[in-house]
């Protein structure tokens, strides 16, 4: 790519390279052979000096699979479920979302729409090719929720909605400005819906050299500044930008028409500085983890990782000896019994650790560390716990 897909600028610099990574990190594979044979691609992160946007310039449109085999939900975690409910409560209270029409683009399995239905009596439509409408049958509030297992198209947006929500989806889209303009064009003339987007916080990824959060499906990375600039360019009026979930998530609320400008500090210089040193800092962090794991194995210790999603796929792909990891654990029953894309590690339920007896458990997301420590204690597993962040 020779132009930034967010602002059209040409001041692009390559900042990070990783070759031969799985292009689909949340697919369910039934056997090790299929998991090892996952399609692969390259990552070439480019930084736009004009707007601060970061994207994978080597992305191949359509390479990643989004289908009923895609299993991304975090809803089985009490920590995440508590956050999700608080987020729904907050939007309902501050924007009076009661008995309204809500659209969610990239709704996953529909958990957030169920909350908006249960807590606010809203009528909700969710669009996502990985949606499983049958999963919500009989669940409280499901009678007001319609899940459409398709990719988003302009025709699906051309009706009146009081709120348009898009959570953890924009980062999967390369033509970000084109996408926002399609959403904007679908808003009924004269209406002023709440527009709420949630994405990973790229500033935290840059600051922490969080390479586990850099993977093929995530082709677009925003900081608060670059996100606001994108929304303004797409003719939205940003209302509020927040960092949430231990700074992992970046959220923006916007509408159409006039709105007071939001107070947002300029971050382009900091982003450029962090981007320039990202590759070196990632390499050092990867080497440190490889050494720590190798030392544990040499001393006869058994190592497990907790979490089988995209972070784990990225973490394993960076290890020179991924076979040093004995097993991968996940609380999501829909992922258990399957194999990890790329390395084919078995994904087991937490209860299996009572027999496996790992000596070291590496937590893929530090926000779940306390929750996981309690689960291990309940299982009688006396393992050391380390987390990718904060170690």
260-276 residue pLDDT tens: 888 777 889 999 999 99
Residue the block writes with tokens 């790519």: 1
Distance CA 386, CA 367 (A): 12
The tokens describing 288, both together, are 């440190």
User: Per residue in 177-190, pLDDT tens?
Assistant: 999 999 999 998 88
Q: How many helices (H) and strands (E) does the chain have?
A: 11, 16
SS3 string, 138-181, reads CCCCHHHEEEECCCCCHHHHCCCCCEEEEECCHHHCCCHHHHHH
Helix/strand/coil for 211: helix
What pLDDT was estimated at residue 390?
55
CB 52 within 8 A of CB 225: yes
When mean pLDDT is compared across 91-100, 150-159, 190-199, 212-221, the lowest value belongs to 150-159
What pLDDT was estimated at residue 265?
73
- Residues 197, 136, 94, 156: is their CA dihedral positive or negative? positive
In this structure, the chain runs to a length of 391
Q: Is the pLDDT assigned to residue 33 strictly greater than 60?
A: yes
What pLDDT was estimated at residue 242?
96
CB 219 within 8 A of CB 56: yes
What is the pTM for the complete model shown? Answer: 0.96
Average pLDDT over residues 109-135: 97
Q: What percent of the chain has pLDDT over 70?
A: 99
Torsion on CA atoms 28, 29, 30, 34, rounded to nearest 10: 170
Could you tell me the residue ranges of all domains in the chain?
270-387
The tokens describing 55, both together, are 């994207």
What pLDDT was estimated at residue 154?
80
Higher pLDDT, 124 or 266: 124
Q: Is the pLDDT assigned to residue 60 strictly greater than 60?
A: yes
What pLDDT was estimated at residue 62?
92
User: Per residue in 310-359, pLDDT tens?
Assistant: 999 999 999 999 999 999 999 999 999 999 999 999 999 999 999 999 99
User: Per residue in 366-384, pLDDT tens?
Assistant: 999 999 999 999 999 999 9
Average pLDDT over residues 277-301: 98
Q: Is the pLDDT assigned to residue 2 strictly greater than 80?
A: yes
User: Per residue in 73-88, pLDDT tens?
Assistant: 999 999 999 999 999 9
What pLDDT was estimated at residue 264?
78
Give the helix, strand, coil percentages of the chain, each rounded to 5: 35, 25, 40
What pLDDT was estimated at residue 391?
57
Give the CATH architecture of domain 270-387.
Answer: 3-Layer(aba) Sandwich (3.40)
Helix/strand/coil for 199: strand
What region does 12 belong to: left with phi over 0, alpha with psi -120 to 50, or beta? Answer: beta
Q: For the chain, what is the mean pLDDT?
A: 96
Query: 125-148 burial by CB neighbour count: b if 16+ within 10 A, else e?
Result: bbbbebbbeeebeeeebbebbbbe
Distance CA 200, CA 249 (A): 5
Q: Is the pLDDT assigned to residue 284 strictly greater than 70?
A: yes
């Amino acid at each position: 790519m020779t132009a930034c897909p967010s602002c059209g600028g040409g001041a692009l610099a390559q900042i990070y390279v990783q070759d031969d990574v799985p292009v689909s990190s949340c697919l369910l594979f039934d056997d090790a052979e299929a998991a090892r044979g996952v399609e692969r691609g390259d990552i070439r992160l480019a930084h736009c000096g004009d707007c601060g946007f970061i994207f994978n310039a080597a992305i191949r449109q359509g390479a990643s699979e989004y289908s009923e085999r895609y299993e991304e939900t975090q809803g089985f975690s009490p920590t995440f479920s508590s956050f999700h409910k608080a987020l729904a409560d907050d939007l309902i209270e501050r924007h009076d979302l009661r008995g309204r029409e809500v659209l969610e683009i990239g709704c996953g399995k529909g958990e957030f729409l169920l909350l908006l239905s249960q807590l606010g009596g809203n009528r909700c439509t969710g669009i996502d090719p990985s949606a499983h409408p049958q999963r919500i049958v009989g669940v409280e509030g499901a009678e007001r929720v319609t899940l459409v297992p398709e990719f988003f198209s302009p025709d699906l947006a051309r009706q009146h909605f009081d709120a348009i929500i898009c959570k953890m989806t924009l980062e999967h889209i390369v033509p970000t400005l084109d996408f926002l303009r399609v959403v904007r064009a679908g808003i009924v003339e004269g209406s002023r819906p709440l527009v709420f987007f949630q994405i990973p916080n790229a500033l935290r990824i840059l600051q922490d050299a969080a390479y586990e959060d850099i993977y093929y499906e995530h082709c677009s990375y925003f900081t608060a500044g670059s996100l606001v600039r994108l929304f303004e360019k797409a003719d939205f009026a940003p209302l509020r930008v927040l960092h949430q979930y231990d700074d992992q998530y970046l959220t923006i609320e916007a509408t159409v028409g006039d709105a007071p400008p939001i107070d947002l500090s300029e971050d382009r210089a900091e982003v450029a500085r962090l981007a320039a040193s990202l590759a070196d800092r990632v390499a050092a962090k990867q080497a440190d983890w490889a050494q720590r794991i190798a030392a544990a194995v040499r001393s006869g210790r058994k190592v497990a990782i907790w979490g089988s999603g995209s972070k784990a796929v990225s973490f394993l792909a960076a290890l020179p000896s991924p076979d040093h990891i004995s097993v991968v654990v996940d609380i999501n029953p829909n992922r258990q019994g399957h194999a990890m894309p790329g390395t084919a590690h078995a994904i087991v339920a937490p209860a299996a650790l009572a027999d496996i007896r790992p000596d070291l458990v590496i937590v893929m997301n530090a926000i779940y560390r306390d929750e996981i420590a309690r689960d291990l204690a309940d299982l009688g597993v006396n393992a050391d716990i380390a987390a990718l962040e904060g170690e």
